[in-house]
């Protein structure tokens, strides 16, 4: 075991959270090293392959704190820690302005509020290489160049394994570098390794009975190292059972042209979702992130099907920037089409009588405005319920796609890691998608990965820099 150079701060993970934190520290004169397990300077991570929209619960990050707070509360419905909400209402716009001062460029993509601050150039709307030389990729390269100028150290090929603790305080990291174990000393450690979505054992423990039947809709670099090392150091974990993700067509499990886009959310939220008995099992109006979580939590996450008619295929299915119509078909997805519901049921080997009855009851409730009385109830406040009436009818088998885990290490408003009694653990911070306490809960409230990662990374740096002299 080598004892390497000591730093004032070590940051674990070189995604948006880690680079924001590292750069903000370095520009204030803090001696900082970022440990990144990826070996080449274009290492994969979610930040590199993302869609680039900086939003707070689908509102633009530049909007007023009141608007952002209301949007978050509407989504998270009492789940979130108040100090986390306060930070996410007040700080994301400031953080984005700072990122702009470091050379990041943003543009408005379309009219939706959540795409007004999108990384430039935007991702391509099709192809496996959709992210190359685009938003997230350019963002990381720009931040790397700025880190170099500011004198920070980026240690590639360095995987943090354990936190080094002494007297209840974090004093460094044990890491693996070029096949050897090294001890790195530091006064502060910031964990920002991106979550645990790519760790199937942890997914099984917290999220799904069959994680191998969930599509990894992410860079597959987040193995839960940060959560595990924080837990071993006494950190509290919160909201571990929820994830941000989308519903995908089942073929995405074997066909890489069908993830991360197109998503099935629009058709699921407009149409009817059934199980292998031809019966509804979920509130389709609860939104795509909720539906993906519900599917992942089922005993068999590959047992669900969406049914819709031509007006949905010709309407909502065309709405997103990477639309299901036509990408589902052109990219090789299996979309079943029939002139009657009976014929559709036969194509999917579903009991025809049950499916006909489900659709008839659903259509009658839509016509009467009584979808809330269906079992399960079908809400319409966020997503209109469309009848399934006009041929041709369509159906596709579904799967859940996991993008990042919402739960993780509990932090306070300064990104300090909290123990079981909600007291900060000295010298230990966490930022980005390995943190918990903001997103999730019963409503699976989504706030936003990029805003969360940049803001919590920035907050950690501010607190560390402000407390240097003490």
Ligand X SMILES: Cc1cc2nc3c(=O)[nH]c(=O)nc-3n(C[C@H](O)[C@H](O)[C@H](O)COP(=O)(O)OP(=O)(O)OC[C@H]3O[C@@H](n4cnc5c(N)ncnc54)[C@H](O)[C@@H]3O)c2cc1C
* Residues at the contact surface with ligand X, assessed by CB under 6 A: 12-18, 35-38, 43, 45-47, 49-53, 159-160, 192-194, 218, 221-223, 225, 260, 403-404, 432-433, 448-451, 453
Q: How far is the CB of 118 from ligand X (least distance, A)?
A: 7
Number of alpha helices (DSSP H) and beta strands (DSSP E) in the chain: 15, 21
Q: How far is the CB of 467 from ligand X (least distance, A)?
A: 23
Q: Which is nearer to ligand X, 289 or 307 (CB)?
A: 289
**Placement of tokens 């295929």 in the chain:** 313
φ, ψ of residue 259 in degrees (nearest 5)? -150, 150
Give bridge partners of residue 165 from the DSSP assignment.
170
Q: Which is nearer to ligand X, 29 or 110 (CB)?
A: 110
Instruction: For residue 280, give Cα distances in angstroms to 167, 357, 361, 362, 413.
Output: 55, 11, 10, 9, 41
Q: How far is the CB of 19 from ligand X (least distance, A)?
A: 8
Give the CA angle between residues 382, 113, 260 to the nearest 5°.
Answer: 75
Q: Which is nearer to ligand X, 225 or 283 (CB)?
A: 225
Helix then strand then coil, % of the chain, to nearest 5: 35, 25, 40
* Eight-class DSSP state of 445: B
Q: Which is nearer to ligand X, 200 or 338 (CB)?
A: 200
Q: How far is the CB of 330 from ligand X (least distance, A)?
A: 19
The dihedral of CA 42, 45, 51, 57: what is its sign? negative
Q: How far is the CB of 323 from ligand X (least distance, A)?
A: 16
Structure tokens, 79: 């789940």
Q: How would you class 443 by CB atoms within 10 Å of its CB: exposed for 0-12, middle for 13-18, buried for 19 or more?
A: middle
Q: Which is nearer to ligand X, 96 or 348 (CB)?
A: 96
Q: Which is nearer to ligand X, 108 or 468 (CB)?
A: 108
Q: Which is nearer to ligand X, 16 or 460 (CB)?
A: 16
CB of 428 closer than 8 Å to CB of 170: yes
Q: Which is nearer to ligand X, 93 or 449 (CB)?
A: 449
Q: How far is the CB of 65 from ligand X (least distance, A)?
A: 18
Q: Which is nearer to ligand X, 134 or 383 (CB)?
A: 134
Q: How far is the CB of 282 from ligand X (least distance, A)?
A: 24
CB of 71 closer than 8 Å to CB of 58: yes
Q: How far is the CB of 223 from ligand X (least distance, A)?
A: 6
Q: Which residues of 158-195 are buried (b: 16+ CB within 10 A; e: fewer)?
A: bbbebbbbeeeebbbbebebeeeebbbebbbbbbbbbb
Q: How far is the CB of 49 from ligand X (least distance, A)?
A: 5
Q: Whole-angstrom Cα distance, residue 334 to residue 395?
A: 9
Instruction: Give 381-422 as a DSSP string.
Output: SSSPPPP--SSSEEEEEEEEEEEEES-EEEB-TT-EEEBTTS
Q: Which is nearer to ligand X, 15 or 262 (CB)?
A: 15
Q: How far is the CB of 327 from ligand X (least distance, A)?
A: 14
């Amino acid at each position: 075991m080598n004892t390497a150079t000591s730093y004032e701060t070590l940051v674990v993970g070189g995604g948006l959270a880690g680079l924001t934190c590292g750069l903000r520290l370095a520009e204030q004169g803090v001696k900082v090293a970022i440990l990144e397990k990826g070996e080449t300077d274009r290492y994969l991570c979610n930040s590199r392959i993302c869609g680039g929209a900086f939003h707070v619960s689908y509102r633009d990050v530049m909007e007023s704190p009141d608007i952002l707070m209301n949007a978050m509360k509407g989504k998270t419905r009492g789940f979130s820690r108040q100090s986390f909400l306060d930070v996410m209402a007040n700080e994301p716009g400031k953080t984005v302005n700072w990122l702009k001062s470091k050379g990041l460029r943003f543009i408005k993509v379309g009219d939706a509020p959540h795409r007004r601050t999108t990384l430039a150039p935007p991702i391509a709307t099709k192809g496996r290489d959709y992210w190359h030389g685009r938003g997230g990729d350019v963002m990381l390269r720009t931040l790397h160049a700025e880190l170099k100028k500011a004198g920070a150290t980026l240690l590639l090929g360095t995987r943090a394994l354990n936190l080094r603790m002494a007297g209840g305080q974090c004093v460094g990291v044990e890491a693996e570098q070029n096949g050897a174990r090294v001890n790195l000393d530091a006064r502060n450690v910031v964990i920002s390794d991106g979550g645990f979505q790519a760790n199937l054992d942890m997914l099984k423990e917290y999220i799904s009975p069959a994680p191998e039947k969930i599509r990894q809709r992410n860079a597959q670099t987040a193995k839960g190292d940060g959560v595990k090392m924080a837990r071993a150091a006494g950190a509290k974990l919160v909201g571990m059972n929820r994830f941000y993700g989308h519903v995908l067509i089942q073929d995405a499990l074997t066909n890489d042209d069908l993830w991360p886009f197109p998503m099935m959310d629009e058709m699921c939220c407009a149409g009817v979702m059934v199980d292998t008995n031809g019966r509804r099992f979920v509130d389709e109006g609860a939104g795509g992130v909720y539906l993906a979580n519900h599917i992942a939590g089922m005993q068999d996450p590959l047992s669900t099907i969406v049914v819709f008619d031509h007006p949905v295929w010709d309407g909502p299915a065309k709405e997103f920037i990477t639309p299901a119509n036509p990408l589902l078909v052109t990219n090789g997805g299996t979309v079943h089409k029939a002139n009657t519901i009976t014929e559709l049921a036969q194509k999917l080997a579903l009991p025809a009588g049950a499916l006909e009855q489900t659709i008839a009851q659903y259509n009658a409730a839509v016509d009467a405005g009584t979808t809330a009385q269906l079992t399960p109830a079908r809400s319409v406040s966020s997503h209109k319920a469309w009848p399934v009436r006009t041929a041709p009818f369509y159906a596709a088998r579904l799967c859940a796609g996991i993008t990042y885990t919402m739960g993780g290490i509990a932090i306070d408003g300064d990104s300090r890691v909290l123990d079981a009694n909600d007291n900060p653990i000295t010298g230990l911070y966490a930022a980005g998608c390995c943190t918990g306490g903001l997103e999730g809960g019963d409503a699976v409230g989504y706030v936003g990965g990029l805003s969360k990662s940049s803001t919590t990374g920035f907050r950690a740096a501010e607190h560390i820099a402000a407390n240097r002299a003490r």
